Amino acid sequence: MPRCLTGGSRSPALFSHCPPHKVSHIRHTVVQCGTSLSTPKITETEASPAESSAAIQGGSGTAPLVHALQSAASQDVSCFHFPGHNRGKAAPSSLSKLIGPGAFLHDLPELPELDDLFSPKGVILDAQKRAAQLFGSSKTWFLVNGTTCGIQASVMATCSPGDYLIVPRNCHISVISALVLSGAVPKYIIPEYNSGWDIAGGITPLQVERAVKELEEDGKRVGAVLVTSPTYHGVCSNVEGIVSVCHPRGIPVIVDEAHGAHFRFHDSLPSTAIEQGADMAVQSTHKVLCSLTQSSMLHLVGDLVNVDKVSQCLQVLQSSSPSYLLLSSLDAARDLVSKNANIFDEPLALASETKEHLMIIPGISVLDLPCFASDFPAIDPLRITLTASDLQLSGYEADDILYEGHRIVSELVGTRAVTFAVNLGTRVQDVEKLVQSVKHLSEKYFFTNSSKPFRENIVCDPLDKISMHLTPREAFFTKKRRVRIEDSLGEICGELICPYPPGIPVLIPGELVTHDSLSYLMNVRHQGITISGAADSELNSILVCSL
Ligand SMILES: Cc1ncc(COP(=O)(O)O)c(C=O)c1O
């Protein structure tokens, strides 16, 4: 059992009980749970002698890549290889002081003993195999260009130019670049949208089935279905149901699981995409586990997708000088979670109690599955999304108050909501501070703002009428010109115009600027909502295709 969240002596009243939650089902090597709230601790009760000695030497344990890096860096050699900082000897001191000389010492190139990312036969292969075993895949690739390159490789490996990719309209921008790279044609599914929260949810198997049937009736080939599950806000789609629509037709299912790398490690977390039968899942290990930023994993199972093609695509998309700091951080993160069956007990208990405290604060609501009409199977319990709109505060205002007044840094802000990510490093004092700060916010604005007239609804439903004249790839390679937004009616959009939130693009390169999309954008501009991707973020002008 995890330690109860009494919060030590600081605030016993606030976090005074452990909520009931399941004891972890053991899906991997069991080692005793850590007990420190600030730093997850590994207790190596089942470490092999080799593991123990490695751990004593430098804490690398059963992480082959970490161990190889450590032993390569410890050799007394004269170096005539890249990188030019020469194992830190020529490191700029400004940075070396900041991140430590060790970071430079271990920033090594592809030395023979460190294997080759694109043709792994040694320690990288070993590390990837261990990850595959832990995550339940038949093959896992380590990625040094984030989930972005994993998504691009997955689409390129499954879709040839002209094939259709069925994808939610609120997909990550990497999917749009994957369409440009692969030449695949998108068939969009509009996700459910809650205007009260200004947040989009997932997609359903029924929507996927409709899209597949429409394409089948038109005689089109579907290369793959790509699902974002969970979304940034933690909403999971029914991947199993989507797989059961796709697999009988031989269509592979790719899951953008950027925000779900931790799902494998506790029974009260949602099922992983791979557990639900997806063919490929791409996870940002850096987002929710504990590897370095930019390091991700791509998992594959089954034989619907060609393994060699995926490897080839990754070689196209990644640097020929992959960072060993990033690669070994993936190995280390895998090692850490594989040794701690209960590692997510504490973050889960903290998040659960935090939500319980937040949802009873006057004027505050917490996002949960009933906020959506669709029957989404799960929401990540470690994502806390709240709204203070009953206090007449936008998400941006609430976020500013929490940061300026209480030094609380959130993960994501929207017009209506603020999202906080609980992770392995979250401490009792952090969540206590969050709850106390939100209480202050409520006390301050409940009476002040409740007398104000209700603020106009500033959000608008995303568009569902799309008129694609060029594929994203054709549009990408077409010459562009800039026009005033008022003059763009009837033009073919040359850039991605995606108001955030809710992160559902209004125009994707190749789409016709219609009356509806134009008036939507004018409205968005009037409200000062951020436009991601557009060259002119103020939206006074847009790039259109010159045909
Ligand atoms: C849903 C989703 N998919 C993919 C990505 C890309 O992940 P990465 O930053 O690891 O490249 C992100 C990044 O925020 C994301 O939110």
Does residue 284's CB lie within 6 angstroms of at least one atom of ligand 1? Answer: yes
Query: Rounded distance, CA 1 to CA 61, Å?
Result: 24
Distance 255 CA to ligand 1 centre (A): 12
Give the model's pLDDT for residue 16: 44
Please identify which residue in the block is written with the tokens 């490191």: 91
Which DSSP symbol is given to 507? B
Question: How do residues 119-165 score in pLDDT, each as one tens digit?
Answer: 999 999 999 999 999 999 999 999 999 999 999 999 999 999 999 99
Per-residue tokens: 31: 């080692």
As a whole number, mean pLDDT of residues 335-356 equals: 96
What pLDDT score does 18 carry? 35
Say what percent of the chain tops pLDDT 70.
85
Instruction: Return the bridge partners of 365, or none.
Output: 387
- In angstroms, the CA 144 to CA 82 distance is 18
**Ligand 1 centroid to residue 258 C-alpha, Å:** 5
The whole-angstrom separation of Cα 542 and Cα 282 is 32
Ligand 1 pocket, 233 CB below 6 A?
no
Average pLDDT score over residue span 219-226: 98
Checking if the pLDDT of 51 tops 60, the result is no
pLDDT confidence band for 61 (50 / 70 / 90): low
CB 295 less than 6 A from any atom of ligand 1: no
Other CB atoms within a 10 A radius of the CB of residue 152 amount to 25
pLDDT at 41: 28
Average pLDDT over residues 447-454: 64
Q: Is the dihedral of CA 477, 480, 485, 486 positive or negative?
A: negative
pLDDT surpassing 60 at residue 359: yes
Q: In the prediction, which pLDDT does 462 show?
A: 65
Could you tell me the pLDDT band of residue 12, with boundaries at 50, 70 and 90?
Answer: very low
Answer for the pair 542, 495: CB distance below 8 angstroms, yes or no: yes
Residue 352: what pLDDT?
A: 98
Question: How far is residue 45's CA from residue 452's CA, in Å, rounded to a whole number?
Answer: 60
Query: Considering only 11-15, 285-289, 392-396, which range has the smallest mean pLDDT?
Result: 11-15
pLDDT value of position 460: 60
Q: Is residue 448 very low, low, confident or very high in pLDDT (cuts 50, 70, 90)?
A: confident
Q: Is 204 a pocket residue for ligand 1 (Cβ < 6 Å)?
A: no
User: Which atom of ligand 1 sits closest to the CA of residue 149?
Assistant: 11
CB 499 within 8 A of CB 529: yes
- Main-chain dihedrals φ then ψ at residue 422, nearest 5 degrees: -95, 135
Residue 3: predicted pLDDT: 31
- pLDDT class for 11, splitting at 50, 70, 90? very low
Q: Which ligand 1 atom is nearest residue 287's CA?
A: 10
Which band of pLDDT confidence, cut at 50, 70 and 90, is reported for residue 451? Answer: low
Closest CA to 182 of 195, 197, 199, 165: 165
256 alpha carbon – ligand 1 mean position (Å): 8
Contact 296 CB / ligand 1 (< 6 Å): yes
What does the pLDDT average to over 452-462? 57
Give me the mean pLDDT over the 422-438 stretch.
98
Residue 284 Cα, ligand 1 centroid: separation in angstroms? 7
Query: Cβ(147) to ligand 1 under 6 A?
Result: yes
Q: Residue 393: is its pLDDT beyond 50?
A: yes
Instruction: Look at residue 481 and tell me whether its pLDDT is greater than 80.
Output: yes
* Beta pairing class for 365-366 and 383-387: antiparallel
Find the helix or strand (DSSP H, E) in which 188 lies: strand 185-189
The reply to whether ligand 1 has any atom less than 6 angstroms from the CB of 228 is: yes
174 lines ligand 1 (CB under 6 A): yes
Average pLDDT over residues 175-194: 96
Ligand 1 centroid–CA 175 distance in Å is: 10
Round to whole Å and give the CA distance between 208 and 176.
19
Mutational pocket test of ligand 1: of 147, 257, 532, the residue with most ligand atoms within 8 Å of the beta carbon: 147
Q: How far is the CA of 541 from the centre of ligand 1 (A)?
A: 27
Please report the atom of ligand 1 found closest to the CA of residue 145: 11
Q: Is the CB of 340 under 6 A from ligand 1?
A: no
* Cβ 232 under 6 angstroms from ligand 1: yes
Q: How many A from CA of 143 to the centre of ligand 1?
A: 13
- Which atom in ligand 1 lies closest to the alpha carbon of residue 148? 11
500 CB under 6 A from ligand 1?
A: no
What is the position in ligand 1's atom list of the atom closest to the CA of 284? 10
3-state secondary structure at position 120: coil
Q: What's the pLDDT score for residue 46? A: 40
The model's confidence at residue 501, banded by pLDDT at 50, 70 and 90, is low
DSSP letter for each residue of 216-261: HHTTPPEEEEEEE-S-TT-EEP-HHHHHHHHGGGT--EEEE-TT-T
Closest atom of ligand 1 to CA, residue 171: 1
Average pLDDT over residues 202-221: 98
Specify the DSSP class assigned to residue 531: E
Separation between Cα atoms, residue 79 and residue 82, nearest integer Å: 8
Q: Which of 140-144, 435-439, 482-486 has the lowest mean pLDDT?
A: 482-486
- Tell me the whole-structure pTM to 2 decimals: 0.88
The pLDDT of residue 15: 58
Q: SS3 for 417?
A: strand
Residue 309 amino acid letter: K
User: What pLDDT is recorded for position 504?
Assistant: 79
Rounded to an integer, what distance in angstroms lies between the CA atom of residue 175 and that of residue 533?
13
For residue 148, how far is its CA from the centre of ligand 1 (angstroms)? 6
- Among 143, 154, 173, 174, which is best to mutate for testing ligand 1, by the most ligand atoms less than 8 A from CB? 174
**Residue 169 pLDDT > 50, yes or no?**
yes
**Whole-angstrom distance, CA of residue 291 vs CA of residue 333:** 5
Q: Could you tell me the distance, in angstroms and rounded to a whole number, from the CA of residue 500 to the centre of ligand 1?
A: 15
Q: How far is the CA of 465 from the centre of ligand 1 (A)?
A: 26
CA 445 – ligand 1 centroid, Å: 35
- The residue to which tokens 């941006």 are assigned: 396
For ligand 1, whether the C-beta of 256 sits within 6 Å is yes
pLDDT above 60 (res 526): yes
